[in-house]
Amino acid sequence: MSATNIDRRRFLQFSALAAGVLGTGALTGCASRASSTTAGTGTDRLRIGIADATKSTALDPRAIGYGASLMVLHHVYDSLMFIDGGKYAYGLAESVTPNADATKWTIKIRPDAKFHSGRPVTAADVAFSLQTIGAPKSTRSSVYADVDGANIKALDKTTLEVPLKRPRGDFREAVLVIFSVVFPEGTTDFTKVDGSGPYTLDTNDGKNVVLLANKGYWGAKPPLTRLDIARMADAPARLNALKAGEIDYAVGISATGAQAERANQGIELKRGGAANSNGLSFSMNVNLKPFDDPRVRRAVRLAVDRKALVDNSLLGLATPGNDVIGLGLPGYADLPERTQDLNGARELFQQAGVSELTLRIAELVPGLVGAAQLFGQQLGQAGVKLNLEQVPADTYYADLSSLAKTPFQGFYYLNRPAAVHLAAVTNAKAPFNVTGQGADHQKRLTEAQSTVDDTARAARFADIQRRFHDEGGDVLWGFQEQVDAARPGVRDVQVRDSLPLFMKASA
């Protein structure tokens, strides 16, 4: 796909909504239709196994899930903007520019894009798409909360104007890059997919999807003429299907599975790196005792041996963290690396009169409970006993209101650019504001978001990150990577927000 890259210094990047994928289902139809030659090299078809959190492959952009559904969506629809190789890039949009105070944005779209039905993509289609995605029934409506949807208007066939309810200098990275797929004006039936993307929908039986290359695509034509996407819930099942030659690419395998197959010459492991990972944290609420005392928060951070947690709990398939989200992504501040200091931690705990802590924990991602147990040993070396309040993972989020009332809890965040994470997660009204950021933080956040100049806005967000590193409540100890597996010969797979995409892939 051809796209104009935007210099990473101009504005901060999003890494999208998608976290780990879950779901149910089995490989049916898709694998059985594939000929035996597809398991070799030089084929124009690729068979993919992936989970889906919605237990289906429904393709309505208003309610799209994660995993298989999102993968299909990004192949059949184009977006105005997206992330490409760690930089922002334009897709259907040729330019997105603000007025003087960033309360109104003008979007210019490509004149040569066509829907699969053959009709041109127009500014009216884009306006309708943004209004639909931003409506209350859409699962992405919160992303568009500051967009004045009712007053979006097409100025001509390729230009539209998007007014905002308040200044947002970060409109591109915090809104359009997150989710901005485009579909025809007036669409209500999304089972009849009519996108402008590099692939067209051939079949979808709810478990398996077949996509065919769009011969009339406006951008670079995809090397693969067919993608067979099968919904498979279980990571070991996906790995076994790959080993049996039933699929060519397994999305998301466990660290244990990856370790077991490292010497297998018939499998290539694909590591996403820190940019495609979950940030794992032991989160302290700065409003609740004893963590309302900054000495306690600092002591906890000094007691942690982050590399030991990564090596032992995540089998090394991770990167040590430094208490702030955004590692490996644009806009990440230059922060001093925090290392273990047991003597310093012990002294601070003694000053604050703390000898015992309780951590609420669940196996939200593989290895989190084991990490908490090792963390307890490290705290013990600093003179503090850690009690683990272990609860079932499927009830951890049952009562979202309780998250803000819990002093100390295990948590994970999708690694995304720091500016977007801070806006989405540390907002005072956000249910996942587990570190309890209050009015002072909200004021700084609003000031940063409303700054029109890209360099000045980046500086404001860097300052917020430094405050979090020094005073915040996250002990963000590791970035757990997305790890996929493929048969040898699968090349040029793009990864966006931990989701592999195959527009440029060959096999």
**How much of the chain, in percent, has pLDDT values that exceed 90?**
69
**What pLDDT score does 32 carry?**
33
Q: Which of 83-97, 272-286, 437-451 has the lowest mean pLDDT?
A: 83-97
Average pLDDT taken over every residue of the chain: 88
**Domain ranges across the chain:** 277-481
Region 14-43: mean pLDDT is: 34
Q: What is the pTM of this model?
A: 0.80
pLDDT tier for residue 85 given thresholds of 50, 70 and 90 = low
Statement: residue 9 has pLDDT above 80: no
H or E element at residue 441: helix 439-449
pLDDT tens-digit map of 118-158:
999 999 999 999 999 999 989 888 889 999 999 999 999 99
The most confident of 3-7, 82-86, 232-236, 371-375, by mean pLDDT: 371-375
pLDDT tier for residue 414 given thresholds of 50, 70 and 90 = confident
For the chain, give the longest Cα–Cα distance: 71
Cα–Cα distance measured from residue 225 to residue 215, given in angstroms and rounded to the nearest whole number:
9
pLDDT tens-digit map of 373-413:
999 999 999 999 999 999 998 788 888 888 999 999 999 89
pLDDT tier for residue 86 given thresholds of 50, 70 and 90 = low
Give yes or no for a contact between 184 and 119, defined as CB atoms under 8 angstroms apart.
Answer: yes
**What pLDDT score does 64 carry?**
83
Statement: residue 323 has pLDDT above 80: yes
**What pLDDT score does 430 carry?**
76
Give CA separation, 280 vs 235, 296, 371, 480, in Å: 20, 20, 10, 7
* Token pair recorded at residue 316: 């090394």
CA torsion sign for 273, 366, 54, 58 is positive
**What pLDDT score does 7 carry?**
37
Cα–Cα distance measured from residue 259 to residue 233, given in angstroms and rounded to the nearest whole number:
20
Between 496 and 3, residue with greater pLDDT: 496
Statement: residue 164 has pLDDT above 60: yes
**What pLDDT score does 55 carry?**
67
Statement: residue 8 has pLDDT above 50: no
Region 148-169: mean pLDDT is: 97
Q: Output phi, psi for 95, to 5 deg.
A: -160, 150
**Which residues lie closer than 8 Å to 499 by C-beta, 6 or more apart?**
18, 66, 67, 70, 71, 74, 251
Q: Which of 376-380, 416-420, 472-476 has the lowest mean pLDDT?
A: 416-420
Cα–Cα distance measured from residue 122 to residue 127, given in angstroms and rounded to the nearest whole number:
9
Between 191 and 75, residue with greater pLDDT: 75
Between 182 and 425, residue with greater pLDDT: 182
pLDDT tier for residue 21 given thresholds of 50, 70 and 90 = very low
* Token pair recorded at residue 292: 């309302």
**Which residues lie closer than 8 Å to 187 by C-beta, 6 or more apart?**
128, 132, 194
Cα–Cα distance measured from residue 396 to residue 431, given in angstroms and rounded to the nearest whole number:
13
Amino acid at 138: S
Region 338-346: mean pLDDT is: 97
Cα–Cα distance measured from residue 487 to residue 463, given in angstroms and rounded to the nearest whole number:
44
Q: State the SS3 of 125-186.
A: HHHHHHHHHCCCCCCCHHHHCCECHHHCEEEECCEEEEEECCCCCCHHHHHHCCCCECCCCC
Give me the CATH topology for the region 277-481. Dipeptide-binding Protein; domain 3 (3.10.105)
Query: Which candidate, 216, 134, 145, 136, places its Cα nearest to that of 181?
Result: 134
H or E element at residue 278: strand 277-284
CA torsion sign for 368, 374, 379, 382 is negative
pLDDT tens-digit map of 194-238:
999 999 999 999 889 999 999 999 999 999 999 999 999 888 999
